[in-house]
Structures are given as C-alpha cells and as structure tokens.
Amino acid sequence: MRPLSQSPGISAAQTAFLRAEWPAPANVKTLITTRNGGVSEGVYASLNLGSHVGDLPEHVAQNRALVEAQTRLPVAYLNQIHSTTVVSAADALETLFDADASVDTTGRAVCAAMTADCLPVLFCDKAGTVVAAAHAGWRGLADGVLQNTVAAMRINPIKIMAYLGPAIGPDAFEVGQDVYDRFCAVLPEAESAFTPIGNGKYLADIYVLARMVLQREGVGMIYGGTHCTVLERDTFFSYRRDGQTGRMVSLIWLDNGAEAE
C-alpha cells in the first residue's frame, strides 16, 4: 500500500472546473465539476449539484445554473440507482429516468454522471458523432453498466475512447470479500486490482477494474484515472470520507457548431 501522502492532488485547490485530458474530436466537449465555485454552504460547500442530499433547493438550482452557463446546453440529470440502465440524454431532459448512463447523438443535451466517490466514465467516438456518460459505482461496474453504455453507442468499440473521471483512489477504497468475489467471478484477472490488507479486507483499484472491463469490450483508448476524491479533500466531495456531503458531475456533449478533427 502506498503512503497516503503520495496520492496525486490538484495544486490549485479552488479550481471550479476540470476538463478531460484526452485526444477527443474538437466538437466533443467535457466539463468536470469540483466542490469549488458554487453557492452552497456548510457540508455542501460550495458547488453541490445533488438535489437529493439535503442541500437547499435554491442553492442546488443556482449551482446547476452556473454549470449550464458553461455548457450552454441543458444537462440531462438522472436518478442514479446503481443500475446498468442506459437512456437517451435528449429524452432525459423531459423525464427523470431511473438510470445510470446516458448517450447522445443529437447535440441537444449534455450527458451527465453525478458522483462523490463512484467512478464517472465519459465516452466518445473518434469521429465525434456520439457521446455518453456512465455512473459506475462498484455494483454497476460489476453488473455491466460500462458494457451496456458501449453497446448503446452503436459504434465499433475500437473507435470508442473513454475517460475515467475523479473517483475514490486505490489507497482509500477499502472493500470486503464480497466485492472481491463479485468481480473475480466474472473477471478472473480482476484479482490483480485488489491488495489484501488482512481480515478479509482489500484495497481495490476501481480505475484498474474499469480499464479491464473496457478492454474486454474492445475499447483500447482509455484515459484519466489519476485522482482520488477521498484524499483530495479541498477539491472533491467524498461520501466515504464525509458522509453527508455534496455531489460533483462529469459532463460530455456534442458541440455541433464545431467541426470534428
């Protein structure tokens, strides 16, 4: 196990927005929020986007408006339930679906994955014709949410690239034997993503697990996976660290006003 002090962080703690660092087409846009730059107070300070965590509704509405000022398109929020369901982001603008991933080819909606330790995964194809976002907690990841998202894009997986957004890192993600068994039953090579720490407990690397799942699906262009929401306290919300806390959102959309490279 690596010392916690060696976990990478963001030097500018007050950064409000991050962008995916990957060679996506020019018309594919991304935005990843941090905990900074909003109006919420207390345990939700300050850019909380979650309407289900106990924050004042007017603060959440203001924070979401700040985000949409950046995207300039409506964000398709989902009622995430750790499922493997994928929906159309454009349809999700009208209906709050119970789902954990969305896909878009229209350029009229922003795909969104809300997290506070779970793994957000952003997708696009090399031609810039389709984008998707998935919320992958360990249950959804084990059950197939990423596989379903890739399938919903209706593109040869070899043409898909994926970006692993900020999630709980391998020095902080302690799990039990049940999680180890669940992954290794369907993905034998997953054993290498778990470090035993005694008493039937492991440190799990959710980034490695996601890469394994995606590579098995034929997705070879995978980026990101460098942050830890638990350890980077000044930058990210973390449910495991704080319990009552806010939520970030990882966003991807097609900008039809730009030409793909």
Q: Supply the pLDDT for residue 7.
A: 30
**Which positions ≥6 away from 150 have C-beta within 8 Å?**
123, 157, 160, 214, 217, 218, 219
Q: Supply the pLDDT for residue 256.
A: 83
Residue in this structure with the two tokens 């850019």, named with its chain if needed: 47
DSSP 102: E
Q: Supply the pLDDT for residue 15.
A: 73
d(CA 200, CA 210): 22
Task: Please provide residue 10's backbone torsions phi and psi, each rounded to the nearest 5 degrees.
Answer: -100, 125
Reported as type and span, the H/E element at residue 201 is strand 201-204
Instruction: Supply the CATH classification number for the domain 23-167+222-254.
Output: 3.60.140.10
Whether pTM exceeds 0.85: yes
d(CA 219, CA 212): 10
Q: Supply the pLDDT for residue 257.
A: 72
Average pLDDT along the chain, 261 residues, taken 10 residues at a time: 30 72 98 97 97 97 97 98 98 98 98 98 98 98 98 98 98 98 95 97 98 98 98 97 97 76 34
Q: How many Cβ atoms are within 10 Å of 17's Cβ, its own excluded? A: 16
Q: Do strands 86-88 and 101-104 pair parallel, antiparallel, or not at all (unpaired)?
A: parallel
- 239, 237, 207: which is closest to 34 by C-alpha? 237
DSSP 72: S
Q: Supply the pLDDT for residue 224.
A: 98
Enumerate the domain spans of the chain. Answer: 23-167+222-254
The answer to whether the beta carbons of residues 205 and 193 sit under 8 Å apart is: yes
Which ranges of the chain does DSSP label H, i.e. alpha helix? 57-71, 89-92, 138-143, 145-152, 177-186, 206-217, 239-242
